[in-house]
Amino acid sequence: MVKHDINDTIAAIATGVGESGIGIVRISGKDALAVADRIFVSRDRKNPSTFKTYTTHYGWVAAGSKVIDEVILTVMRAPKSYTKEDIIEINCHGGILALREVLDLVLENGCRLAEPGEFTKRAFLNGRIDLAQAEAVLDIIHAKTDSALKISIEQLRGALSSQINKIRKVLLDILGLLEANIDFPEEEISHINSKEILQKLNTINNELKDILDTSKQGRIFREGINAVICGKPNVGKSSLLNALLKQERSIVTPLAGTTRDTIEEIIDIKGIPIIIVDTAGIIEPRDLIEKKAIQRSRRYIDLADLVILLFDGSKRLTKEDEALMKRIKRKNTLAIINKIDLKQNIEKGRIQRRFNQVINISAKKLKNIDLLESAIANLVYNGKISHSEPIMVSNLRHIEAIKRTQKLIAEALNSLDNKLSLEFVAQDIKDALGHLDDILGRRFSEDLLDKIFSDFCIGK
């Protein structure tokens, strides 16, 4: 990625590829208006550089006498724009060719193609948002459920940043008090000061703990959990996937061995993104494809956070069921007896003895699917979640930085307790401040920025 070059003007297609009603070419930088002047012909022949900010204008994009597209052009002047620079957005027709031609023309007329995430990177480098907020933009784009979206929007609005800033301010106050005492070593740290410092550090310690307490849930909401449906052939695994998805995704037939490969989908169960996999039930492979499918299913089962083990309630347990029960002894397993709409022949007691929880459903008749969903949510939440609590932190980078901060605060408290030199305490607090600065991007390395923004799409 170009190193901090924010003096040139960048452009990119900001909308997704493929056919759509409208596509947007976005330009940002000091020459944005000049570039627009060169390529845009408004109905009244006025130049975009004369347009007021936050106004839209009808016209054409043209290369000399060649008209490329009929467009609407929007002007957003610095500093009140996404990047804090002059921005031009051109709403073209959504076909990839029209968009491509407009972009090419823009590039020929003085812009550089933007790197992934470079608009948001500029918003950060120009000081409109901090790094945690910039990362929230990416999370909003990637959000898989309403809850994940809500966390990201809160983060973009500054919920985490303002909490971190508040803690930062208190640490700076403490550092001031400490340094005053270090500068005048002959005057012992006053009793009042030391009490005040202790109190403030303890409060910060608790606040950091509260934030970290939300991180486990936060990560689940952000990244989701991996679940796998397994069971011998024909028990109704694909029917269950379809029931959970509320659509016919996986092929269901009365024939055993219908699903020959793993099928992966994302479902939203009470706000948690669950990446759910329907596996092939095959036990005796007939060919190489089936052999590979079995290997794949096994790998999924080994990696899964949650295993949904399915049985056919209308049949007696077979040695295939027994083999699976033996294989899957993990804690996060839900045993499900399917086909309860049929006469039940299964030895239920045998299953109950092995698993804490056994749920009866009918995937075909959509019976008790809601019970299964609640059971999944309970397992994930460990029965402890409260939806009303704002979830502050979900990003691993932030979580690590907060953990390090907390460790240093604990060390500072320890040093104070043991009456060690105040310089040690001050150093811990300085280091703690450094980690908080990392979260906000007050301190950053080029590598970190590259890592964060390269995950973005071009045009954002």
In the complex, the residues that contact Mg ion under the rule CB under 5 A are 237-238, 258-259
Angle at 377 between CA 331 and CA 379, to 5 degrees: 20
Closest CB 347 distance from ligand GTP, rounded Å:
18
What amino acid occupies position 291?
K
Number of H helices, E strands in the chain: 16, 13
> Interface with ligand GTP by CB under 6 A: which range of 11-19, 43-51, 256-264, 378-386?
256-264
Closest CB 237 distance from ligand GTP, rounded Å:
3
433-to-164, 173, 215 alpha-carbon distances in Å: 10, 12, 20
Here's the x/- map for ligand GTP, 333-352, by CB under 6 A: it reads as -----xx-xx----------
Of 212-231, binders to ligand GTP (CB under 6 A) are 231
| One residue of 235, 372, 416, 436 binding ligand GTP per CB under 6 A | 235
DSSP 306-351: EEEEEEETTS---HHHHHHHHH---SSEEEEEE-TTSPP-S-HHHH
The packing angle between helices 446-453 and 118-125, to 10°, is 140
Q: Please say whether the beta carbons of 135 and 90 come within 8 A.
A: no
| One residue of 362, 368, 394, 395 binding ligand GTP per CB under 6 A | 362
CA 76 to CA 87: how far, in whole Å? 5
Q: Please say whether the beta carbons of 153 and 137 come within 8 A.
A: no
The separation between the first and the last C-alpha atoms of the chain, rounded to the nearest angstrom, is 15
Closest CB 253 distance from ligand GTP, rounded Å:
6
- Residue closer to ligand GTP by CB (options 270, 364) is 364
Q: Is 290 in the site for ligand GTP (CB under 6 A)?
A: no
Contacts of 123 (CB under 8 A, 6+ apart): 82, 83, 84, 129, 134
- Residue closer to ligand GTP by CB (options 309, 392) is 309
| One residue of 91, 109, 238, 394 binding ligand GTP per CB under 6 A | 238
Q: Is 359 in the site for ligand GTP (CB under 6 A)?
A: no
- Residue closer to Mg ion by CB (options 71, 244) is 244
Q: Is 460 in the site for ligand GTP (CB under 6 A)?
A: no
Chain residues that interact with ligand GTP, rule: CB under 6 A = 231, 233-239, 252-254, 256-259, 280-281, 338-339, 341-342, 362-365
